[in-house]
Every structure is written in structure tokens, then in C-alpha cells.
Structure 1
């Protein structure tokens, strides 16, 4: 399924009649329907070049799991037929930061060799195409985002600070 097909993604798991009207997303997720392409990295060094801009959704191309060298082993790494990858982002202001995904992929936020503890989990708004949201209390600094156990080689995602 193509990531640019937001209405098709939005209808997954919902009554098609209910999802014909575009969903208005809250400001932190506003760019969800205008993702930019980004290639996931295979290792921590490459993650620095696969930089996410907070607040900008991406349509990320993932790699076969066996070719990814994770800084920390994901709790759910997926098997040899799954996909994953790495990216990085910079937190300039402390607060609650959200990682929203278009699938049920496993996600970790890593800094200084440690996985950050999530503070909340949820689902995106109905008909939005956002399947999973994970929140973290983060301090300023550079972080690595690990995606694992995705069933497809593409993943829509956004990292954003909550108001």
C-alpha cells in the first residue's frame, strides 16, 4: 500500500462511510497528510544523516531487519521477514514528545545507550491513518529513533513536541 494513499490508510479498521470526510488533526500532527520521503539508516552512524525534523511527517523507507544494526536490541525486533531502521532527531526544548506511527511497528527512543521510558501510549484519531502513538518525557539533546518489527518496507511517522 502506498503511503501517499492517506484515505486508504485512514479507512483501515474503520467503516468506509465514516472515513470519507478528512479528519482535522491537532496542530502537532498537522503535517501527517503531507509526508516527505526519508530513507531509514542501517546503523547509528547513518542515523545522524537520516535526520527527522520535529513536526514534519515522513514516509520512511525501511530496511530488511537482518541488515539493521540497532544501538540497543529492540524488545520486539521482528523476524527476518520484517523491516526496520534508524533515524535521529534533536530535542531543543524539554517536554512531552510524541512518536506517531502509521503501523504497529515497535519504536524505541534511545539516548546515551539507554532506551527512554514511555509515559503514555495511544491510538491516533479515527480515520487519520495514525495507528500508534507513544509519548516520552525528553530533555534537550540528540536522540536515535529505532523502528523494528514492521510488516512492510514503508512507514509513515512523525516526531513532535506536545503543547
Structure 2
């Protein structure tokens, strides 16, 4: 029983008291704590647009009712999901950040774009995960699936946003 208790302590998330002060976020995530509201689309046509650097708290739909452009990864029919569009004037490395556990894919045309990197935000930042994609210029569809909560904070950011030139 002592071993189980020790394992639970090790696996436990960071306690709220340890996050009394939110972590500062570097570019391109400095606007993470700002947010608008959006209802994620249940189909590609009419899905709201993500704007680089502008986070939103998105209301999701039960995933079984979302018409994904391509089958999403893990847990697609479980929990909640939704769709957003993302338009780029030029090719960019784009990170999609979420504040909770969910699967995120980017679809260009009819093809799911392979992610290039996965990571977490800083402790106490509210950023649970960041998935990076190398995207060409044009219109893309961001698919979120498998979220247990019916809302998720989501933000798309260009890796080079506000970075020094040189």
C-alpha cells in the first residue's frame, strides 16, 4: 500500500499551491492568457478561423457528431471535438497549443499533415501540450478530438513570430 501511495504522489499533477504564480511565457505564446470565445465547427464548411497568436476558449461538440475531414488520431469517437480553419500567407512552422488532453491534427486538402514535434508548455503556464507542424501557405483545417471536457483553450502560433531577425 505504501508503494501505491508513493506512485500516486509521483504521478500526481502539480499541486495548485505550487502554481500560485503563473509562469511567464516567451514568444510566440505571450498572449496565451488572453482569450476570445468560439464554438468549434462540427463540419469544415463554416468552421471558425484560428488567427495566429490569438487564443480562444472553444466550445466543442460530442466527437461522434463532428464530420472530420480525415479520421483523427487516438480517441476520435470519445469525448468532444471540433474544427477550425487556419490560413497562412506563407509557409511556416506552426504550433497548436491546448490547455487540456486532446488529439490535434492539421489537414491540408485531403491529407493529414505529419507533426514535426510535440511538447509541453512550461509548468504552471496552462499550456498542456504544443504540437508543431510545417505548413505550406494556404488554408488548413485544425481538428481537435478526444477531449473529455466540452471546452478547450486553443492557440495557433508561428514559431518565428516576433523573433529577432538574424
Residue 54 (structure 1) aligned with residue 52 (structure 2): yes
Residue 148 (structure 1) aligned with residue 152 (structure 2): no
Q: Which has the larger radius of gyration?
A: 2
Match of 1:4 in 2: none
- Which whole-Å CA distance do the structure 1 matches of 2:99 and 2:60 have between them? 13
Match of 1:19 in 2: 19
Match of 1:73 in 2: 71
Match of 1:9 in 2: none
From 90, 99, 103, the equivalent of 2:100 is 103
RMSD value, Cα: 1.4
Question: Which runs of 5 or more structure 1 residues have no equivalent in the other structure?
Answer: 1-11
- Which whole-Å CA distance do the structure 1 matches of 2:90 and 2:18 have between them? 37
Q: Which moved more, 1:17-26 or 1:112-121?
A: 17-26
From 80, 85, 91, the equivalent of 1:83 is 80
Match of 1:40 in 2: 40
> Normalising by structure 2, what TM-score?
0.85
Match of 1:112 in 2: 109
Q: What's the CA shift string for 1:63-111, capped at 9, x where partnerless? A: 011211101011224335x100101011123221100111120010001
Question: Which runs of 5 or more structure 2 residues have no equivalent in the other structure?
Answer: 1-11, 161-166
SS at match of 1:38: strand
Query: C-alpha displacement at 1:132, in angstroms?
Result: 0.8
- Which whole-Å CA distance do the structure 1 matches of 2:158 and 2:123 have between them? 21
> Normalising by structure 1, what TM-score?
0.86
Aligned residues between the structures: 149
Query: C-alpha displacement at 1:32, in angstroms?
Result: 1.0
- Which whole-Å CA distance do the structure 2 matches of 1:135 and 1:78 have between them? 20
SS at match of 1:55: coil
